[in-house]
Amino acid sequence: MALILAFGVAFVQMIVPLVGAWRGWSGWMAVAVPAATLQFLLIAASFAALTYSFVVSDFSLQLVVQNSHSAKPMLYKVSGVWGNHEGSMLLWVLIVVLFGGMAAWFGGGLPPKLKARVLSVQSAIGVAFMAFILFTSNPFTRVAQPPFDGRDLNPLLQDPGLAFHPPFLYLGYVGLSMSFSFAVAALIEGRVDAAWARWVRPWTLAAWVFLTIGIALGSWWAYYELGWGGFWFWDPVENASFMPWLFAAALLHSAIVVEKREALKSWTILLAILAFGFSLIGTFLVRSGVITSVHAFANDPERGVFILMILGFFTGGALVLYAFRAHAMEAKGVFGMVSRESALVFNNILLAVSSIVVFIGTIWPLVAEMFFDRTLSVGAPFFEAAFTPFMVVLAIALPIGTMMPWKRAKLGKAVKPLIPAFVLAVAMFLFVWAVQSERTILGPVGFLLGVWLVAGAMTDLWNRLGRGALSYRLSRLARLPRADWGRVTAHAGLGIVFMGISGLMAWEVEDIRVAQSAEPFEVAGLEVMVQQVREVRGPNYFSTMADIRISQDGRTLAVLSPEKRVYPVQAMPTTEAAILNGFWRDIYVVIGDPQDSGGYAVRTFIKPFANWIWAGSIIMALGGLLSLSDRRYRVAAGAARRPRMQGMPAE
C-alpha cells in the first residue's frame, strides 16, 4: 500500500518538472492549475496513508516501528506522524503543495502570466523537497521482519503540543514560500506594482500569523513541559523559527509601502527572498546536525548536504536573479525625511538587523570552530545583550511611526497626540518601580515600553476616528477598515508581550526544598502543602503523582497534581509540572525524587505575568487575521476589478 503511494509521489515528481518547464509558454500556462490540484491530492493521499499506518500501528514500516507503540494514545499516534524527520518532511511538502493549490484555486484574479510563474516557482520548491524525501528520507521504508511492537515516541513529544505546534510552524515557514514565489515571479516579469503588493501581502500576513501562533505554542509547550518554566531558550532551532518571523514582520510592513506608495520595491523583493531563505536555513540547521539542539531530530550529513543544495539553489538563484533584475524596479513614490514611509524603513532596519544578529549568534560557534579553531558557546546571555536593544528602540519608535502621515510629516504634530500615552507609560514606570521589592530596572522598563505600545495603539485608533464630537467618532469606529483594527490590535499585542516577558523575568520567585507530607511551607505569601503522593499508572507510562494544596490566608486556591512520569519503552523520565494559571501570576509546582530523609523534593515557582506572553502573541496573531480580513483583499481577490486595472500597464 505504502509502496504504491510512494510511487504516486514519484509520479507527481515526474509530472511537476515537466509542467514547470512547459509553463513558460503561454499555451501551457493553464496546465499549472490542474497540476497543482493533482499534486495536492497525491501528496495528501500519501500523507493520509502514512497517518493510517501510524493509527493502525503498521509495524512493517520502519518509521512506525521507530516512533510509535501500540499502547500509545490515539492523539499521539496521529501527531507522531510528524514527530520525526521523515514524517515532518512529508507534512512540509504537503503544505507546500497546499499553498500551491490555494494560489491555483483562489488566484483567479491574478494576471495569467504572473500566476503561471508563481505556480511554477512554487512547484519547483515542491519538487526539490519531494526529491529530498525520496532520495534521503523515505517515510515508507519497509522492514523485512516486522517486530511485535514499536519503540514508542520520545516522551517529551507525547503532549498535545506536538499536535499543534509543528503544523502551525510549517504553515508559517512554507507560507513564506508563497511570498518567495511571488518575488521570483516578479523578478522574472521585471515589474512590481501596487497590485502585486496587494497579492503578496495577504500571503505574507497569513504566513506571519501562522508563525506567530506556532512560535507561541512552542514556547508555551516548553514552559509547561520542561519542568522549570523557561519560555524561550535562544536554542538554534527556536532561532530558526524566530529569524523568518522577524523577516516576515519586516516584509509585511514594507509591502504596505509598495502597495500604498509604490516605493521600496526592490527592498521588498529582497526581504521576500530572505524570509524564505531563512526558513530554509532553519530547516538546514534542524536537520543537518551541524548545530546540536534539543530539537535536532536528524543528524545525517547526507541530508544536510541535500538541504544545503536546495538552500543554495533557491536562495542563491533568487539572489542572482535579484542582482540582475532589481534595477528594473522603478520606485515612484516620493516622500520626505519624516514620514510614514521612512518610519517603516526604520522598522525594517530594526527587524532585519536584529534578525541577522540572531543569525550570526546562531552560527557563530560553527564559524569560530571552522575559521578560528575555537570551540565556544553562544547562549542566552549573548542574545539578551545583543538583541534586546533593537527591540527597545523598536518599541520606542513604533507608536510615533504609526502616527505619521504618508509622504510628509511634522514630528511635533505626530508626537502631540501621544503625550497622554507617554504620561501614562511614565506613570506606570514610577508605579512599578515603587511597588516592586527588587531593585531591578528590567521590570519597570518593560512595563514602560509595554504601556507605551498599548496606549500608543489606542491613540492610533482614536486618531483614525478623525476630529469631531464623540458620537461622530464612535460612529466611525464601526466603519473603520479592518486593516486599521488589525494594526492597532497587533501593536497592542506586542506591548502585552513586552510586559509579560519583563514581568516574568524580573519578578519570578523560586523555592526549592524537601517537603514532608502534611507539613505546610510558605512561598511568597502562599501556603504550600504536600497532601499525599501516589503511584498512578497511565496508558504507556508510570507516574508518581503528588497532590499539593496551595492556599492563601487559609483559603484553598487549588490542589495541584504535578507528576514524575517514567515511560518504560523509551526508558525516560519526564516531569509534568502542575500549573495554576492566573491573570497576574502562574503558580508552578514540580515534584522531584523521594529523599533519604523522607519527603519529596518540591520546586515551587511564582511566575508573574507569564500568561501575558502568550496572550499577547495570540492578540498579535489576531491582529494579523483582522488585517487579513480587510475588505480590500477580498475585493482584490475577486475578479471584478481586475480586467480594468490590468489593462493599463500592459501597454
Partner 1 sequence: MKHLIFVLLLIAGPAFAVTPDEVLDDPALENRAREVSAGLRCVVCRGENIDESNAEIARDLRLLVRERLLAGDTNEEVIDFVVERYGEYVLMKPTTDGANILLWGAGPALFLFAAFSALLYVRGRSVATGPGDDGLTEQEQARLTELTGKSDG
Quote the least distance from Cβ 86 to partner 1, whole Å: 21
Which residue number, 435 or 648, has a Cβ lying nearer to partner 1?
A: 648
CA–CA distance, 569 with 423 (Å, rounded to integer): 59
45 Cβ contact list (under 8 Å, min separation 6): 5, 8
Which residue number, 326 or 601, has a Cβ lying nearer to partner 1?
A: 601
Quote the least distance from Cβ 442 to partner 1, whole Å: 15
Using CB under 8 A as the binding rule, whether residue 148 contacts partner 1 is answered as no
* 258's grid cell: 509598495
Using CB under 8 A as the binding rule, whether residue 327 contacts partner 1 is answered as no
- Using a 10 angstrom Cβ sphere, with 0-12 exposed, 13-18 middle and 19 or more buried, the burial of residue 62 is middle
Using CB under 8 A as the binding rule, whether residue 651 contacts partner 1 is answered as yes
Cα angle value 411/412/416 (rounded, 5°): 120
Using CB under 8 A as the binding rule, whether residue 333 contacts partner 1 is answered as yes
Query: Pick from 336, 417, 481, 538: which binds partner 1 (CB under 8 A)?
Result: 336
Which residue number, 302 or 438, has a Cβ lying nearer to partner 1?
A: 438
Query: Pick from 190, 299, 323, 332: which binds partner 1 (CB under 8 A)?
Result: 332
Query: Pick from 52, 164, 382, 433: which binds partner 1 (CB under 8 A)?
Result: 382
Contact 104, 36 (CB under 8 A): yes
Stretch binding partner 1 (CB under 8 A), from 86-94, 227-235, 303-311, 623-631:
227-235
Query: Pick from 78, 134, 328, 601: which binds partner 1 (CB under 8 A)?
Result: 601
* 341's grid cell: 514611509
CA–CA distance, 16 with 90 (Å, rounded to integer): 17
Query: Pick from 437, 571, 583, 598: which binds partner 1 (CB under 8 A)?
Result: 571
Contact 636, 199 (CB under 8 A): yes
**Residues 394-431: b if buried by 16+ CB within 10 A, e if exposed:** bbeebbbbbbbeeeebeeeebeeebeebbebbeebbee
Instruction: Specify the DSSP class assigned to residue 579.
Output: E
Using CB under 8 A as the binding rule, whether residue 376 contacts partner 1 is answered as yes
Using CB under 8 A as the binding rule, whether residue 637 contacts partner 1 is answered as no
* Strand runs labelled E in 487-541: 509-515, 521-523, 526-537
Quote the least distance from Cβ 617 to partner 1, whole Å: 22
Using CB under 8 A as the binding rule, whether residue 400 contacts partner 1 is answered as no
Instruction: Tell me the one-letter amino acid at 75.
Output: L
Quote the least distance from Cβ 363 to partner 1, whole Å: 10
| Binding to partner 1 in span 274-293, by CB under 8 A | 292-293
Stretch binding partner 1 (CB under 8 A), from 22-30, 154-162, 174-182, 584-592:
584-592
Using CB under 8 A as the binding rule, whether residue 380 contacts partner 1 is answered as yes
* 589's grid cell: 509546582
For 26-30, which contacts have Cβ atoms below 8 Å and span 24 or more sequence positions? 26/112, 26/113, 29/112, 29/113, 29/115, 29/116
- Using a 10 angstrom Cβ sphere, with 0-12 exposed, 13-18 middle and 19 or more buried, the burial of residue 370 is exposed
- The single residue listed with the C-alpha cell 500523507 is 47
Quote the least distance from Cβ 111 to partner 1, whole Å: 17
Contact 519, 546 (CB under 8 A): no
Quote the least distance from Cβ 471 to partner 1, whole Å: 37
178 Cβ contact list (under 8 Å, min separation 6): 99, 103, 118, 122, 203, 204, 207
Which residue number, 50 or 394, has a Cβ lying nearer to partner 1?
A: 394
CA–CA distance, 63 with 60 (Å, rounded to integer): 9
**What is the gyration radius of the CA atoms in the chain, in angstroms?**
27
Residue 564: strand pairing partners? 544, 575
Stretch binding partner 1 (CB under 8 A), from 282-290, 345-353, 473-481, 517-525:
345-353
Query: Pick from 593, 638, 640, 641: which binds partner 1 (CB under 8 A)?
Result: 593
Quote the least distance from Cβ 466 to partner 1, whole Å: 27
Query: Pick from 163, 308, 442, 566: which binds partner 1 (CB under 8 A)?
Result: 566
Using CB under 8 A as the binding rule, whether residue 385 contacts partner 1 is answered as yes
Which residue number, 334 or 430, has a Cβ lying nearer to partner 1?
A: 334
Q: How far is CA 377 from the centre of its chain?
A: 25
- The single residue listed with the C-alpha cell 515551587 is 604
Using CB under 8 A as the binding rule, whether residue 556 contacts partner 1 is answered as no
Quote the least distance from Cβ 360 to partner 1, whole Å: 5
| Binding to partner 1 in span 77-116, by CB under 8 A | none
Closest CA to 135 of 2, 282, 229, 6: 6
CA–CA distance, 562 with 546 (Å, rounded to integer): 6
* 542's grid cell: 508510570
Using CB under 8 A as the binding rule, whether residue 323 contacts partner 1 is answered as no
Closest CA to 404 of 393, 394, 388, 415: 415
Query: Pick from 480, 568, 634, 638: which binds partner 1 (CB under 8 A)?
Result: 568
User: What mask of x and - would describe binding to partner 1 in positions 510 to 539, judged by CB under 8 A?
Assistant: --xxx-------------------------
Which residue number, 332 or 413, has a Cβ lying nearer to partner 1?
A: 332
Distances (CA, A) of 594 to 177, 228, 427, 545, 546: 51, 18, 48, 12, 11
CA–CA distance, 580 with 230 (Å, rounded to integer): 16
Distances (CA, A) of 217 to 159, 166, 296, 446, 621: 12, 9, 18, 22, 12
Query: Pick from 11, 28, 364, 433: which binds partner 1 (CB under 8 A)?
Result: 364
Say what the alpha-carbon torsion angle 616, 621, 623, 627 is, to the nearest 10 degrees: 170
User: What mask of x and - would describe binding to partner 1 in positions 230 to 269, judged by CB under 8 A?
Assistant: x--xxxx--------------------------x------
User: What mask of x and - would describe binding to partner 1 in positions 462 to 501, judged by CB under 8 A?
Assistant: ----------------------------------------
Which residue number, 188 or 353, has a Cβ lying nearer to partner 1?
A: 353
Query: Pick from 27, 145, 148, 381: which binds partner 1 (CB under 8 A)?
Result: 381
Size of the site for partner 1 (CB under 8 A): 72
Instruction: Tell me the one-letter amino acid at 544.
Output: T
Using CB under 8 A as the binding rule, whether residue 342 contacts partner 1 is answered as yes
Other C-beta atoms closer than 10 Å to the C-beta of 148 total: 6
Using CB under 8 A as the binding rule, whether residue 436 contacts partner 1 is answered as no
Quote the least distance from Cβ 282 to partner 1, whole Å: 16
| Binding to partner 1 in span 291-310, by CB under 8 A | 292-294, 296
Quote the least distance from Cβ 228 to partner 1, whole Å: 6
Which residue number, 145 or 377, has a Cβ lying nearer to partner 1?
A: 377
Using CB under 8 A as the binding rule, whether residue 390 contacts partner 1 is answered as yes
